[in-house]
Structure 1
């Protein structure tokens, strides 16, 4: 099951040149670009591990591709994404986010039913990857 999060998730995986073009777009708009990774891709997990430092005032998108490839060397079996943060007043939020690396096998999610007091039934989403301890979720 292919994880569908962020922009371009409906497209085939992005090449390094595609990543460079999108990073350059973010840089041209004055957004700070960062690389993040995780082995818990739950849709509500917005706090991924940051790779390096955010690239403020970086004029060259090739540096972003370099950082993505460095992150792939160390964390190639996890999800890696590029984010672009807009610090301008009124926005101060992520403007762009897209996945640039995926594990070979994406286990997907399951719906968990929880029965509560009375006839209350709640549903939640749980990643199959969570069955393994952190750091060993993807071989």
Structure 2
């Protein structure tokens, strides 16, 4: 199972050179870039932990690459993504999001069925990873 979130998620993993080119493209558009990580990649978990500070005034992709490297060293078994935000209208709008690091083993998700009143059915998605405590999932 391969988690598919953000841009490029159906493609093979990006190389560092490809990541650098995508970051440069975002910086050329004057978007703020941040690096985030999590060990719970549930699709509704949109608030990942931020590694370092958002890079608002950065114009060189080397700074973002250094932050990605530091995050990979600190959290080698976590999902790590790059986010780019556009603040040109006075509010932050995510314009770009893609995963740059994954755990060696991705256990995937299961669909849980719940019966409700009147024989109604609800389905929810649950990650196999959350069966273990935070910090021990991968």
TM-score, normalised via structure 1 length: 0.96
Aligned residues: 138
Could you tell me how far apart the structure 2 residues matched to 1:55 and 1:91 are? Answer: 16
Unaligned runs of 5+ in 1: none
Q: Runs in 1 of length 4+ with deviation above 4 angstroms?
A: none
Quote the RMSD (CA, aligned, Å). Answer: 1.0
SS at match of 1:85: strand
SS at match of 1:118: helix
The aligned counterpart of 1:51 is 51
Tell me whether 1:79 sits opposite 2:69 in the alignment: no
11-20 or 96-105: bigger deviation:
11-20
Could you tell me how far apart the structure 1 residues matched to 2:66 and 2:8 are? Answer: 20
Tell me whether 1:41 sits opposite 2:13 in the alignment: no
Could you tell me how far apart the structure 2 residues matched to 1:136 and 1:30 are? Answer: 37
Provide, for residues 76-106 of structure 1, a one-character-per-residue CA deviation record: whole Å limited to 9, x for no partner.
Answer: 1000000000011176310000000000000
Could you tell me how far apart the structure 2 residues matched to 1:112 and 1:87 are? Answer: 39
SS at match of 2:81: strand
Tell me whether 1:110 sits opposite 2:110 in the alignment: yes
Could you tell me how far apart the structure 2 residues matched to 1:90 and 1:117 are? Answer: 45
Could you tell me how far apart the structure 2 residues matched to 1:65 and 1:16 are? Answer: 8
SS at match of 1:80: strand
Could you tell me how far apart the structure 1 residues matched to 2:113 and 2:41 are? Answer: 20
Taking the TM superposition and a 5 Å limit, the aligned residue runs for 1:1-139 are 1-89=1-89, 92-138=92-138
Unaligned runs of 5+ in 2: none
